[in-house]
Structure 1
Amino acid sequence: MTNRWRTLAKSLPDPDEQSDDYRRYADLALRHILDAVLVTDLDNNVVWVNSGFERMFGHRLDNIRGQAARGLLDGPDTDPSARDHVLRAIKGRETLTVDILHYTATGEQVWVDKTLTPIFDEAGTHTHHMSINRDITERRRMEEKTREVMANEEQRQHERKLLSQVSEWLYSAKSLDELLMVVQKSMHTLMPESEGQLYIYSNSRDTLDLKTAWGEGTAHEHIDAEDCWALRRGRAYAYGTRAIEFPCAHTETADTPYFCLPIIAHGETIGLMHVAFAAYDRAIMSRKMVETFLQQRWDLSLLCAEQISLAVANVQLRQELLDQSVRDPLTSLWNRRWFLDAAHKEINRAERQGSALSLISLDVDHFKAFNDHHGHDAGDIVLREVGALMREVFTPPLAPCRLGGEEFVVLCPGLGHDAAMDLADRFRVALSELDLAYGDGKLPRITASAGVTSFPDCGAHVEDMLKHADRALYRAKDRGRNCVVSALPEDRQIAAQ
């Protein structure tokens, strides 16, 4: 113990008559204690440090004795408010305990639990300041780790809550368009730092078409299936985390990390979700930081892809069931059930908005005789070809339907009577020119007759319009078939024209 410290120790009152033992034990305690002890004078200059101080901070007493203690242990990340708190306690001769970040002589960080105490002599005169510093670096590291774990868990709980809400919306979607709207909004909310796209296979299965996108990135309208490693390998692919990896040909830059996640419905890959993180460019950020972030986002992205896959499968199944209930299985046209429901809606709309609405009733000429002579297989071919031609001629919003047998009807919202007559005749001509292959030969040419009616001249209800259209159709049959007849009286036909 230095002479200065011995002088300081002698100024302390003895607790009993064994003053020599007291000083000896005090000397041993201060020499061997692991805590760092610093004693300064009233000007806050270094007077004495113990060996624990030298071990903890790397400053030898001989090198710092007489130096200002202020700033000796501070560094760039030392909290200014904690430092000012210490200085105010010194100035006010207060006892203080505070956690503060200090730095060693070599620049390493050391978190300490600092206890600052003023020292008074026997006369009560304030003579020195003493600080005892306990290394709590490991404790702070554990606390920081705990806070990080808790923050991550809180983030995961937040993401799970959002994902639960997203799932509910996804499964509530009645159509693919609704589903795509939910996907776009949900992905932007779940991963705002991402930019991405959802692609669905085209009918040819060699390319994928863009269906929706989010974020600020540039999206390709179409990508080739062979350009994506995830689709080629048949599993999700993360780019930006492995020592050996190759970018997909459909990506813009090799420095942007991304995920490619196949969308699978009913065991079949139907699309791809591409999620990129341009803000985490590997050219400007450390690999460790990128890998840590991607690992956090990988699990969430997989869950999103899984939920979207299930939702797409759900929408497809719902659409298939709906089609089965409203589609004619032979011609793929709308059936009677769909027609009646749609016709009621269109009549109400036409009445409400004053818009045009027409109805075309079609019937294949001599179909029963044709069916009896050539067989039901040939008859099915005729009906399928009629249905295909109707879809080609009567495009949306026009709706061709098969009511049953060889009876067809076309719901024509927005189409006036004269235009409906012309369109029906164009279909009649196209049908009469149709070549139908059957086996090694060809079937005889077929024709159709049609009756056309319009709202409101032929009634304000579906049943009335159908009745007038059928009457016009029968008159077409009576006139020799293969013609189009209006259900309106001649004077009304002139008015309609």
Structure 2
Amino acid sequence: RLVKLGELLQACVTFPEAFSVVGTAMAEFLGGLSGTVHLTSASRNLVEEMAHWGDVRSSATQFAPEDCWALRRGQEHVAGPGMLTPRCAHITENGKKGYVCMPLAAQGETLGILHLCEPNAAEKPQWLAERQQILRGVVDTLALALANLRLRETLRQQSIRDPNTSLFNRRYLEETSSRELRRMERSGQPLVIIMLDVDHFKQFNDTFGHEAGDLVLKQVAATLIEHARDSDVVSRYGGEEFALVMPGSSVQEGAERAEALRQAIRKLHLTHRGRTLGTVTASFGVAAYPEHGVGWAELTNAADHALYEAKGNGRDRVAIALGNASGERPPIQLVPVPKSS
């Protein structure tokens, strides 16, 4: 059974898949015991519940790592009626139940804990001993599978993220946006793409240096993320150019978002090594499906033309593309959006 569990876990490609397998399998492996799997967050300051099974919930869903004795000491921690061992701070029941917390450790890293609870520990003093062998096998199998899954996710993120800004890279943007376009076509919804470019960036780099330039790009990226919805795709398109895709949004909504971003970027106050970097501005081009194109190449071309129109009209402004996506389209017309500040 452990071999089968390992095979199922190794076949999982996402953490939700793995925890679904765990929730089902644990009831079979450890019949009668309720339990949870908690993982440590990437920041290492929070432990969060990822899977639960059984009728009893004896642990908080979130807690600090120091609240668990197993994580503090790096070894199994057992507590229950008649035992002198201290109870973990994340345990929520009144002390009549027995429990064990076991660290999930693999590849030199502690990933979290497996927590099990026996409601009738006083009447079943051997509740843990009789399951010890199978439990250790489950912990080792689970820890290794989760470590491999985390490694694969890390490598995947590295392949789709820009290392400097942590935004999605251009390849991911193009793949995802093509899928989003097909989804919008099926649902009859619009989609907006905003292209933006940091103004005079080469001159900025020459004046303040590349480290300061990197700081500007990171702060612009952070501003984009701050103004994005969960459904939006924010990308570093290349160099000092960024792209934002807004599924389900109209041209007007795209123009309003671009103007809000323009103002937010203009308000950035950046310093580097004690030097004030001055005002940062950006130019924006907005295009939408289906008005300005039905394919990704058409939309990016329309947004790019709008961006260059914004730059040609003095920079630090927004321009939207105008056109008709039905039949033979006329050349794209560009209308600068009036600046509100």
Same fold (TM over 0.5): yes
Partner of 1:458: 292
1:378 and 2:200 are equivalent in the alignment: no
Q: Secondary structure at the match of 1:217?
A: coil
CA distance in 1, matches of 2:167, 2:64: 32
TM-score (norm 1): 0.62
Which of 20, 27, 35 is 1:188 aligned to? Answer: 27
Partner of 2:275: 441
CA RMSD of superposed structures (Å): 2.2
Paired AA for residue 88 in structure 2: C
Which of 112, 116, 122 is 1:275 aligned to? Answer: 116
Map 1:461-472 to 2 at 5 A: 461-472=295-306
Number of matched pairs: 326
Q: Secondary structure at the match of 2:322?
A: coil
Deviations 1:101-147 (A, max 9, x none): xxxxxxxxxxxxxxxxxxxxxxxxxxxxxxxxxxxxxxxxxxxxxxx
Deviations 1:254-278 (A, max 9, x none): 3322210112243122312111121
What's the CA shift for 1:209? 2.0
Which of 202, 205, 212 is 1:368 aligned to? Answer: 202
The answer to whether the 8 A contact 1:241-1:290 is kept is: no
Deviations 1:3-54 (A, max 9, x none): xxxxxxxxxxxxxxxxxxxxxxxxxxxxxxxxxxxxxxxxxxxxxxxxxxxx
Q: Secondary structure at the match of 1:254?
A: coil
The answer to whether the 8 A contact 1:363-1:449 is kept is: yes
Partner of 2:105: 264
Partner of 1:227: 67
The answer to whether the 8 A contact 1:200-1:270 is kept is: yes
Paired AA for residue 75 in structure 2: R
CA distance in 1, matches of 2:83, 2:37: 27
1:198 and 2:37 are equivalent in the alignment: yes
Paired AA for residue 184 in structure 1: G
Q: Secondary structure at the match of 1:403?
A: strand
The answer to whether the 8 A contact 1:240-1:290 is kept is: no
Q: Secondary structure at the match of 2:315?
A: coil
Distance 1:447 1:397, change over 3 A: same
Partner of 1:343: 177
What's the CA shift for 1:223? 2.4
Which of 406, 413, 430 is 2:264 aligned to? Answer: 430
The answer to whether the 8 A contact 1:257-1:277 is kept is: yes
Sequence identity (%)? 36
CA distance in 1, matches of 2:45, 2:208: 40
1:303 and 2:137 are equivalent in the alignment: yes
Q: Secondary structure at the match of 2:114?
A: strand
Distance 1:227 1:394, change over 3 A: closer
The answer to whether the 8 A contact 2:191-2:288 is kept is: yes
More helix by share: 1
CA distance in 2, matches of 1:245, 1:476: 69
What's the CA shift for 1:226? 2.8
Partner of 1:101: none
CA distance in 2, matches of 1:179, 1:402: 31
Partner of 2:125: 290
CA distance in 1, matches of 2:28, 2:318: 57
CA distance in 2, matches of 1:356, 1:257: 56
CA distance in 2, matches of 1:480, 1:165: 65
Paired AA for residue 295 in structure 1: A
The answer to whether the 8 A contact 2:292-2:323 is kept is: no
The answer to whether the 8 A contact 2:40-2:48 is kept is: yes
CA distance in 2, matches of 1:378, 1:246: 51
Paired AA for residue 175 in structure 1: T
1:317 and 2:151 are equivalent in the alignment: yes
Partner of 1:7: none
The answer to whether the 8 A contact 1:199-1:271 is kept is: yes
CA distance in 1, matches of 2:108, 2:25: 24
What's the CA shift for 1:214? 1.2
What's the CA shift for 1:210? 2.0
1:237 and 2:72 are equivalent in the alignment: no
Deviations 1:138-186 (A, max 9, x none): xxxxxxxxxxxxxxxxxxxxxxx2x222212211222222222222122
Deviations 1:180-224 (A, max 9, x none): 222212212222311111222245534422222111113422223
Distance 1:319 1:231, change over 3 A: same
Q: Which has the higher Rg, Structure 1 or Structure 2?
A: 1
CA distance in 1, matches of 2:300, 2:67: 53
Paired AA for residue 390 in structure 1: L
Partner of 2:14: 175
The runs of 5 or more residues in structure 2 that have no matched partner are 325-331, 336-341
CA distance in 2, matches of 1:313, 1:202: 13
Deviations 1:48-95 (A, max 9, x none): xxxxxxxxxxxxxxxxxxxxxxxxxxxxxxxxxxxxxxxxxxxxxxxx
The answer to whether the 8 A contact 2:34-2:118 is kept is: yes
Which of 86, 91, 106 is 1:246 aligned to? Answer: 86
Which of 243, 251, 255 is 2:96 aligned to? Answer: 255
The answer to whether the 8 A contact 2:167-2:221 is kept is: yes
CA distance in 1, matches of 2:106, 2:306: 48
